[in-house]
Amino acid sequence: MTKTSKNTQKTVNFLPKSAFIRSAIVAIIVGSVLTLINQRGAVFGDEEIAVARLVLVFLTPFLVVLASQAVGAKQAWHDRQTQTAAQFASQARGETLAQTMVTHGIPMRAMVLGGLMGTLNTLIIITANLSSGDTPGSLPIVIIAQAYFLPVLFGLLSQSIAYRRAAAQFAALAPSSKA
């Protein structure tokens, strides 16, 4: 990478304000649905709300989607720098969402991000449950499975969409080359 492209990369904003807004919208929707599913007894009945789980179902999608948008856009920028303008524009236009989801290192980054968030969530859930007097055998396995699966899924989708959005922008900015 040349010094000029390194300087240009510093000026590229991989997390615009719109990324925070999209992340918040996803977090509100996903957090609300998961709260209704996982804590329906507290929402509709007389059970006590699990505060740690409540916070996590909103915070996790926000963080995963935000991080995924940043790394997806950064990967598009990297790919643009390593290809000719014509190659990149052709690839950006010709690739389906499914193709994007399984290329550009997206699956590995989604699994790493999902693993990190799942482990963090699981530790918080286990700590909260054990501190409230529950036994290890009463830990919510479905909730723990969600803690790993959903961040991977959100990471795949969000990185792919962010990659495609950024690739379209970078391809549009690319100088046309006549071959």
Q: What is the DSSP string of 102-127?
A: TSTTHHHHHHHHHHHHHHHHHHHHHH
Residue 9: pLDDT above 90?
A: no
Q: Highest mean pLDDT range out of 90-99, 117-126, 151-160, 167-176?
A: 151-160
Predicted pLDDT at 29: 96
List all residues 6 or more positions away from 19 whose beta carbon is below 8 Å from its beta carbon. 66, 69, 70, 162
Half-sphere exposure of 26 (CA within 13 A, CB side): 23
**For 104-145, how does the pLDDT look when each residue is reduced to its tens digit (9 = 90+)?**
999 999 999 999 999 999 888 888 888 888 877 777 788 888
pTM of the complete model beyond 0.85: no
**For 46-56, how does the pLDDT look when each residue is reduced to its tens digit (9 = 90+)?**
888 888 889 99
Residue with tokens 């997206």: 106
